[in-house]
Amino acid sequence: MKKCVIVLFFLIMINGLLAGKVVEATVKSDTTEVGIVFKEGTPSLPKPPIDSKLPDTNMPYIPKPSSGTNGKLPSMGDLITSLIWTLLGCSILIVFVGVLSLKNIMLKTV
């Protein structure tokens, strides 16, 4: 079974190298492969919303309680740090479970 998987992997790699085509990404293009043309010029402004006359409810303004954050998303560094801590915690959990299961196996064989 392993030989079939390895042979299949190499066939896919060779097919990708020999039969694949090189593609370049473009930032902006005036036309596409099927012939769609993009207009040059100023973008059209969005239409204003429909003025629907809703009844005035006269609700008093109640400020939201502040949670201590300013509503910004975390930076990329914070996200990477969070990912590293998550992976570290998962690896420690895997090692702990592995040690416990190895201990159980060793106790059963004695």
pLDDT of 56 higher than 70: no
- Phi/psi class of residue 68: alpha, beta or left (left: φ > 0; alpha: ψ in -120 to 50)? left
Residue with the two structure tokens 């593609």: 23
pLDDT of amino acid 97: 95
Mean pLDDT computed over every residue of the chain: 79
Residues 6+ apart with CB under 8 A from 37: 30, 31
Task: Write the single-letter amino acid at 33.
Answer: E
Confidence of residue 34 (pLDDT cuts 50, 70, 90): confident
pLDDT of 65 higher than 80: no
pLDDT of 43 higher than 70: no
Taking residues 83-108, report their average pLDDT.
Answer: 94
Pairwise CA distance, residues 91 & 99, whole Å: 12
pLDDT of amino acid 44: 72
